[in-house]
């Protein structure tokens, strides 16, 4: 069985510019793997959503009533690029790294990717783990069992 490392960074403020930059740099926009990407972009980047966009994004929410959702997209240079809108109105950006041999080198690559993404997106914190779904809230971010953790996220501003 082939595993992958999932690397995430926390964006306390999900600005349209940062979300667009992540899509531009890391998502295979020619074949994104999820046809709801345009709905996401109209809603969270351009600010011009349609009624159909709201319905399309609602399909991504879990049945527990949470407002959080994740788009799993094909990456340009990574198997997956993930964008999560959290319950806290923040964003979690993620990339996956294939690790078919459970190699220590992939763990080091994940550590470097955390640092790179934190710098690139001015993210206060990053985490990584094997086959780890993205946190959907501050509470999950802080309490999920992860193999790698760097930095801390800010307290809820509310």
| pTM for the whole structure | 0.94
Q: What is the pLDDT of residues 20-30, one digit of tens each?
A: 999 999 999 99
Q: What is the mean pLDDT of residues 11-37?
A: 96
Share of the chain above pLDDT 90, in %: 81
Residue 55 has pLDDT above 80, yes or no: yes
Q: Where are the domains of the chain?
A: 3-151
Rounded to 5°, angle at Cα 126 from 25 and 14: 60
Residue 157 pLDDT > 80: no
What are residue 49's phi and psi, to 5 degrees?
-75, 155
């Amino acid at each position: 069985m082939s595993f992958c490392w999932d690397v995430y960074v926390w964006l306390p403020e999900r600005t349209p510019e940062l979300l667009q930059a992540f899509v531009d740099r890391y998502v295979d926009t020619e074949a994104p793997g999820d046809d709801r990407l345009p709905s996401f972009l109209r809603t969270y980047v351009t600010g011009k959503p349609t009624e159909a966009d709201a319905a399309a994004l609602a399909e991504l929410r879990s049945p527990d009533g949470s407002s959080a959702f994740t788009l799993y997209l094909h990456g340009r240079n990574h198997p997956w690029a993930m964008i999560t809108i959290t319950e806290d109105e923040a964003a979690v950006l993620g990339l996956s790294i294939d690790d078919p041999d459970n190699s220590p080198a992939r763990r080091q690559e994940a550590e470097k990717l955390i640092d790179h993404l934190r710098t690139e997106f001015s993210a206060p914190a990053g985490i990584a783990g094997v086959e780890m779904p993205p946190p959907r809230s501050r509470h999950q971010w802080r309490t999920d069992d992860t193999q790698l953790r760097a930095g801390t996220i800010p307290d809820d501003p509310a």
